């Protein structure tokens, strides 16, 4: 949808908000506009507080923009009273009618904007990431092209119904599974090892590989040697997905479950495809018939 082009620069999005180009639709479309705006801010490494400040500050621009049509209506009324060569008894009704028409046009143009301004405070309280984290997560997962989900979100917001918390993970990942999860999050196979190499080559950091492995060992409660073995060889071999053992497939399934419960379906699907690759198909169908 051209209206929600995700490649727009931040300044252009702000300009479109100031021009009220997102305010002419329904309530759910305004929810999508909020989600789209936060996407643009987030893409530019801005915090949610920056986005909240912008949409609150925007209302003052709307109020100030009313000064011009109000002045226009007032001047029109004065001209009607002074220029028209008709009886004063007719001038006043004509001036009032003209002003009423002008006011009606203004209201039709920005009536939805006033409603959106009133609801901005409700929205910001409802998705406050410090007070309403589950609502904020649901807002973050909202696709700004999905009107059906936006309707549900808006209805919950207006009814002050909080979204349920994400289920707590019942299992714990072992050391290899944790490193796998990190590697999947960062990108392609072996990217964790590539990042470590870049850090060690950067003279500004003066880091050693052994030092990094030791720190990761402390974080993941494992020996530095085992961390090194998994990062340099094990994780990359698992992610190639060729002739994996039953243990390796089980580790992938555990990591996939974490991504699914964390509402990262694309990462979970990436693991699903990996476990369904040649050589792993029979085992995975038998042990994991779940879908997305």
User: pLDDT for 234-263, tens place per residue?
Assistant: 898 888 877 788 888 899 999 998 888 877
Question: Is the confidence at residue 87, as pLDDT, over 50?
Answer: yes
Taking 3-state DSSP, the helix, strand and coil percentages for the chain, each rounded to the nearest 5, stand at 70, 0, 30
Q: DSSP label at 171?
A: S
Neighbours of 133 (CB within 10 A): 15
Q: If DSSP codes are grouped into helix, strand and coil, which group holds residue 164?
A: coil
pLDDT at res. 67? 66
Sign of CA dihedral 94, 95, 100, 105: positive
pLDDT tens-digit map of 172-207: 888 999 999 999 999 888 899 999 999 898 888 788
Task: Give, to the nearest 10 degrees, the angle between helix 88-126 and helix 67-83.
Answer: 170
- Going by pLDDT thresholds of 50, 70 and 90, the confidence category of residue 88 is low
Domain spans, the chain: 2-158, 175-287
Calculate what percentage of the chain has a pLDDT beyond 90. 31
User: Rounded to an integer, what distance in angstroms lies between the CA atom of residue 195 and that of residue 184?
Assistant: 13
Confidence of residue 282 (pLDDT cuts 50, 70, 90): very low
As a whole number of angstroms, the distance between CA 279 and CA 292 comes to: 22
Residue 165: per-residue pLDDT: 83
CA distance 276 to 249: 10
Give the mean pLDDT of 103-130: 82
Q: Which whole-number Å values give the CA distances from 262 to 51, 177, 259, in the listed order?
A: 24, 15, 5
Give burial (CB, 10 Å; 0-12/13-18/19+) of 151: middle
- Mean pLDDT, all residues of the chain: 82
- ∠ Cα 181 184 170 (to 5°): 30
pTM for the whole structure: 0.59
Tokens matching residue 71: 């002045």
Q: How far apart are CA 193 and CA 198, in angstroms?
A: 9
């Amino acid at each position: 949808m051209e209206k929600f082009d995700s490649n727009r620069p931040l300044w252009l999005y702000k300009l479109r908000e100031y021009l009220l180009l997102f305010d002419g639709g329904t309530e759910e479309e305004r929810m999508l506009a909020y989600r789209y705006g936060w996407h643009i801010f987030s893409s530019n490494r801005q915090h949610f507080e920056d986005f909240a400040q912008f949409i609150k500050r925007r209302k003052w621009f709307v109020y100030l923009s009313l000064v011009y049509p109000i002045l226009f209506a007032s001047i029109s009324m004065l001209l009607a009273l002074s220029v028209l060569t008709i009886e004063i008894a007719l001038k006043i009704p004509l001036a009032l009618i003209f002003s009423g028409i002008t006011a009606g046009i203004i209201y039709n143009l920005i009536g939805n904007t006033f409603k959106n301004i009133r609801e901005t405070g409700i929205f910001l309280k409802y998705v406050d990431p410090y007070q309403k984290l589950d609502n904020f997560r649901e807002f973050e997962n909202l696709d700004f092209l999905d009107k059906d989900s936006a309707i549900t979100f808006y209805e919950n917001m207006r009814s002050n119904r909080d979204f349920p918390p994400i289920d707590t993970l019942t299992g714990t990942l072992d050391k290899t599974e944790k490193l796998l999860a990190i590697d999947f999050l960062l990108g392609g196979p072996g990217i964790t090892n590539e990042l470590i190499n870049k850090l060690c080559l950067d003279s500004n950091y003066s880091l050693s590989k052994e030092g990094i492995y030791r720190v990761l060992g402390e974080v993941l409660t494992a020996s530095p040697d085992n961390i090194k073995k998994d990062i340099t060889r094990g994780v990359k071999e698992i992610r190639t997905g060729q002739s994996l053992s039953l243990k390796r497939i089980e580790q992938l399934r555990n990591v996939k479950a974490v991504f699914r419960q964390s509402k990262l379906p694309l990462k979970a699907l990436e693991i699903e495809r990996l476990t369904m690759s040649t050589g792993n198909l029979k085992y995975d169908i038998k042990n994991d018939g779940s879908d997305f």
